[in-house]
Amino acid sequence: MSRPKDERSEQALLAPREDTLDDLIARGQDGDALALEAIYFRYKTALFNIAYRYTYDRSTAEDLLQEIFIKVFTHLGDVRTTQTFTGWVYRIALNTCYSHLRGKRAELQKNVPLAEVEGTLHEVQENSLARDVRKPLDDAIAGLPRKLKEIFLLHDVQGFKHGEIARMLGLSVGTSKSQLFKARLRIREFLKERKAC
């Protein structure tokens, strides 16, 4: 026995939709708030992780995430091809992080740390074993040059393939592979020097 047509169409409206990225972008360009929310939820974790890896501060990473999405949604109408959308979003994220770091560097050059003025050193004690194990790796990643860090984070942390990274950053696949190799080598050397591995 089949259901009446009205009942089926009502269930279709209530069922959760799994929209494609193409649909979400098109609807977002038309101002659909639900599409913008879906784009946000699709990318928020990965973009937060990138911002956190550049700042190592949760609050700052959250602020940067907000700034990234403001830029993405403000310029969503500029998107012409959805094939490059993910790379475009990551490029906005990386540029936003770089701008923040440039501003932070200038700010640090102007300020004198309170610990130097008082003559005391305040250290945060981290009790967690996980933090103790992770800190040398975080320090190694933080010490990488910008390009090596970008490729390492996109490949090894975010899981992008070399072809995707090459398109995002405007590089050849070979350059992406060699930069990743160099980044891993530097991290390994850093960890050996600190006897962390």
- One-character DSSP codes across 157-193: IT---HHHHHHHHT--HHHHHHHHHHHHHHHHHHHHH
Question: 116-171: per-residue pLDDT in tens?
Answer: 444 444 444 444 555 566 788 888 888 899 889 889 888 888 888 888 888 888 88
pLDDT at residue number 110: 52
Rounded to whole angstroms, how far apart are CA atoms 29 and 125?
47
Same fold, 19-120 and 128-197: no
Burial class (CB in 10 A: 0-12, 13-18, 19+), 27: middle
User: Which ranges of the chain does DSSP label H, i.e. alpha helix?
Assistant: 5-14, 21-29, 33-55, 58-74, 85-110, 114-118, 129-142, 146-152, 162-169, 173-193
- Please provide the CATH number assigned to the domain covering 19-120: 1.10.1740.10
Per-residue pLDDT band for 67 (boundaries 50, 70, 90) equals very high
Q: What fold, for 128-197? A: Arc Repressor Mutant, subunit A (1.10.10)
Whether this model's pTM surpasses 0.75: no
- In the chain, where the domains are located: 19-120, 128-197
> Could you read off the pLDDT of 78-94 as tens digits, one per residue?
998 888 899 899 999 99
Torsion of CA 51, 52, 55, 57, to 10 degrees: 130
The overall average pLDDT reported for the chain is 80
* In contact, 153 and 184? CB cutoff 8 Å: no
Hunting for tokens 């990488």 — which residue is that?
144
pLDDT of residue 124: 45
